[in-house]
Amino acid sequence: MKQILTLDLGGSSIKHALLSESGSFLSDYGRHETDTESADGLKEKLKELRNQYAGQYDGLAVSMPGKINTKEGRCVTAGAYHRLDGTDMKRFLEEIFEVPAVIANDGKCAAYAEAESGSLKDVANGAVIVFGTGIGGGIVLNHKVWMGSDSGAGELSWLPTDFRGIFQKNRELYTSMWGGNCSAHALTVHFADKKGIPETEMDGERFFRDLKAGDADAAEVFRDFAQQCAAGIFAMQSMLELQRFAIGGGISAEPEVTETIRANLDELFAESSWIPCSKPEVTVCRYGNQANLIGALNFYLDQQ
């Protein structure tokens, strides 16, 4: 059985592990320093991982941000790795690792992992929502990850939340979108603003520590966050009528995140009994931070 090196190119680090074709982890799940500022810098970081796993892998499966054309192996856009926009990423990686490589969008990787054997395994139609620097995710229809007409489906950061604000002159467009208001990053930024401290001094760990300690400002920011999360799911449900939404990202490890989103969604549906669509289930992703690696492997196997 072949061994596949899986990588998740994130904005702050590269997650990595060696997996078997059956999805078993053959090495510890690790993190490696990355470089988002230049293609050459990233290449050097990847060479370090190549050397670390030398002689152990037969193929390469990569999850990364951006609009990714998996069939062509090309980054139309590359998210935090914007220097790679338009790059033939398959060729870029195969020149470094010297084995067949497959790339896929990180949100779609998470959705594929959950649909194949995780929290969405027993439903035909669902979605994964990953709260991080933005809001990533993927939509699953008839047990398959929906790629869209041009590989751009499931980019949930761009779901409008302020239809009037989008057209205001001199506005910051992203603040009118779900990702600008309701990501994990936005949560800590809003709390930092509330406390009057620099954004760099705030992170998720401190926010949830203060929330659990009864901080009134944290409670207010979290209440607004959970309500906006529920509103976004409500909007998606009115269009797609999915059976289940699975919540992912680092903050999903905090049980109150999924619980509070679910409670707010219940409230919305209770107040909108006339809405034609049914109320979906809301649960947490099974695979957590490993979902992108598992999903990348699934995409790799599909291409073989």
Task: Give the number of C-alpha atoms closer than 13 A to the C-alpha of residue 216, restricted to the C-beta side.
Answer: 0
CA atoms 15, 16, 17, 22: torsion sign = positive
The whole-number pLDDT of residue 137 equals: 92
The number of beta carbons lying within 10 Å of the beta carbon of residue 10 is 22
- Say which CATH architecture domain 3-109+290-303 belongs to: 2-Layer Sandwich (3.30)
Contacts of 295 (CB under 8 A, 6+ apart): 63, 104, 108, 109, 110, 111, 112, 113, 114, 116
Residue pair 292/106 in contact (Cβ under 8 Å)? The answer is yes
pLDDT of 273: 85
- Amino acid, res. 92: F
Give me the CATH code for the 121-285 domain, please. Answer: 3.30.420.40
Give the pLDDT of residue 170.
Answer: 58
Name the token pair of 133: 């620097």
Give the domain ranges of the chain.
Answer: 3-109+290-303, 121-285
Burial 54-69 (b: 16+ CB within 10 A, else e): eeebebbbbbbbbbbb
Name 206's Cβ contacts closer than 8 Å, sequence gap at least 6.
188
Q: Do 3-109+290-303 and 121-285 come out as alike in CATH topology? A: yes
The pLDDT value recorded for residue 165 is 80
pLDDT given for residue 171 in this prediction: 59
Q: Which residues have C-beta within 8 Å of that of residue 82, sequence separation ≥ 6?
A: 36
Question: What count of other Cβ atoms lies within 10 Å of the Cβ of residue 122?
Answer: 9
pLDDT by residue, tens only, the chain of 304 residues? 899 999 999 888 999 999 999 999 999 999 999 999 999 999 999 999 999 999 999 999 999 999 999 999 999 999 889 999 999 999 999 999 999 999 999 999 999 999 999 999 999 999 999 998 889 899 999 999 999 999 999 999 999 988 888 887 655 777 888 988 899 999 999 999 999 999 989 999 999 999 999 999 999 999 999 999 999 999 999 999 999 999 998 899 999 999 999 999 999 999 988 999 999 999 999 998 899 999 999 999 999 8
Q: Are 129 and 280 in contact (CB under 8 A)?
A: no
